[in-house]
Amino acid sequence: MKSYETLIVEVDGGVATVTLNRPEAMNAFNLEMTAEFDDAIWTLERDDAVRVIVLTGSGKAFSTGMDLASGGDTFGAEAHERHNEEVGASDSQITDRYSFWNMRTPMIAAINGMAIGAGLTLTFLADIRIVAEDARLRLPFVRLNVLPDANSTWLLPRLIGLSRALELLLTGRWFTGGEAADMGLVSRAVPAGEVLGVAQELAREIATNTAPVAVGITKQLVYKNLMETDRVAAFTEETKLTWWAGSQPDTVEGVTALMGKRTPQWTQSKHLPIPDDLPEM
């Protein structure tokens, strides 16, 4: 991996750890960090050697969201247009860049401390969230007369239910990592000093013991089915994909390794294409 000015990226044993590294600004996102984050995440997604991405922050905060150094114009139309121009992307391209649900690589957010606004909604786009139990969390958008970002108005009700989602979004109140765990917003709340270690241990479990093809397609299928209203259609596609996956070399390896009580040696790419002509039921 190349080096970045606002991020630290380390890869070890199939696990990539991406650390937001602007501790003097509580890891708030400026244009440089936004561009570097986009580059790093999608570079790691393309790398078959990277099985899991862990996101965390340097210092005591995960991220306090957008850098407000430009003052009241931070969220205005002119600032938005300048942002798109400087990063060289249209609105649709930026949306694509944050469509992490289309990735084949699982992402775990290790929320080591304070996460506010976009610094918190970013973690909603991860697949699994581990948080410091005393972390201070907040979605303060309505208190600034701006709207929640990062697809959160669609996703948050699906994560924690409508009433709880609206409470957080409409009040902009503070809540803790412990409360987030009680709501089901995160998988676990642990002592602050253990957050990254717990997230990386979980990542290593995935990287070592699970098949790249099965993990990548399972992730995509889960997100696709969040939008599928036809249960039978979802069941049919799932079954076809199960039969197809069952014929792959890594399936033979997985069964053989389990029977032999050894660690599997996967050979297939996490980006293995799904054929158009899946087996008929």
- Is 2 inside a domain boundary? no
Same domain, 165 and 257: no
pLDDT, one tens digit per residue, over 82-120 is 555 665 656 667 688 889 999 999 999 999 999 999 999
Q: Is 148 helix (H, G, I), strand (E, B) or coil?
A: coil
When pLDDT is averaged across residues 175-199 and rounded to a whole number, the result is 98
Q: Is the pLDDT assigned to residue 75 strictly greater than 70? A: no
Name the residue range of residue 266's domain.
210-281
* Among 163, 182, 207, residue at a domain's last position: 207
Q: Please tell me the predicted confidence (pLDDT) of residue 72.
A: 47
Do residues 159 and 102 touch, judged by C-beta distance below 8 A?
no
Determine the Cα–Cα distance for residues 14 and 21; give it in Å rounded to an integer. 22
| Number of domain units in the chain | 2
Which of 207, 240, 255 corresponds to the end of one domain? 207
Sorting pLDDT into bands at 50, 70 and 90, what band is 2?
Answer: confident
pLDDT tens for each residue of 225-246 = 999 999 999 999 999 999 999 9
Q: Which CATH number covers residue 62?
A: 3.90.226.10
90's tokens: 């249209």
Pair (37, 114) in one structural domain = yes
pLDDT in tens, 199-222: 999 999 999 999 999 999 999 999
CATH of the domain at 229: 1.10.12.10
Mean pLDDT of 157-167: 98
Question: And the tokens for 30?
Answer: 């400026």
pLDDT at 81: 57
Q: Percent of the chain having pLDDT more than 90?
A: 86
241-281 per-position pLDDT tens digit: 999 999 999 999 999 999 999 999 999 999 999 998 887 76
- Which pLDDT score is estimated for 27? 98
Domain C-terminal end among 207, 236, 262: 207
Report the amino acid identity of residue 183: M
In terms of Cβ atoms closer than 10 Å to its own Cβ (0-12, 13-18, 19+), residue 39 is middle
61: exposed, middle or buried (Cβ count in 10 Å: 0-12, 13-18, 19+):
buried
Answer yes or no: is 1 within a domain: no
